[in-house]
Structure 1
Amino acid sequence: MIAETVCSAVSAAGLGIAAVTAYRRRFLTAARIAAYSLVPIGLVMTGVVEWLADTAFSPVAWAGFAVLGVSWVLFMTTRTVERRRGGTRKQRKEARAAARRDAVAPEASAPSLATGSGPASQPRPTSQSRPASTSRDDDFSDIEAILKKHGI
């Protein structure tokens, strides 16, 4: 009963302030103040204030809040212990890495050695006609480093 009276008084005072503000020709501000001042009386009319007052003075409700607090503390404690042990986060990280490795088909990374009529079936040039293999290996090592950096 007291909470409803207080909310009604707050709404009446807010509407009075809104009227004074509108008298000063600040209509937008007055409308905003009126909107805020109607919220407490609306809460009283919907029964929310009565429900909150009943909940605030109920020992069962406070015991429920205590149980919720204990469950939150237990949850946070288990998460902290799990992180220190390297629990599920590490396992998830390893699973993601394994999925990435399995996602690439081994056939896709190796060149095709099939015989056919294309350029792959033509004979390879001899070592005298191509440049030294060290520069070619250096080029591939750079590419290989880039691919490893991106986890491919």
Structure 2
Amino acid sequence: MDQGAYLALAAALTVLGAIWTWIAFRRRGLGAGVKGLGWTLLAPAAYLTGLLRAGGRIVDAIADWAARLVFSPTVWIGFGIAALAIVLIFLARVLPTKEKPSRAARKEAGAAPSPASVSAPKTAQGPVLDDDDDDMADVNDILKKYGIS
């Protein structure tokens, strides 16, 4: 569309908005009339700022895309591939997967004594500490907890 067509569109929208504003003012009062006037003034504002032309280009681009969508086999192949991808993603949720053992299960497996450690008696219990040395007792407790003593 050229500049004259956008001017005609803006003028038509302004006239229709003015009629609507007048009807709203008469039927519902001053508040409705002022609100209608605000909406009416958006059409010439859009024309003067160039947004009416931008909106026309957007509508034109969407119409071209829709026409290509309907008549292009490559677009339909693209939609088919997208649908297949979505189906595969949701199908993967119901198929069994190889899961790692949970942290609690690994901890239980690590805490269970091995057969060699059960049969072999412990002869050395680690260094003997004085009762007054609390720091070393804490360190010794941590080492025992992790099996390093």
Q: Using structure 1 for the length normalisation, give the TM-score.
A: 0.45
* Structure whose CA Rg is larger: 2
Where relative contact order (Cα < 8 A, 6+ residues apart) is larger, the structure is 1
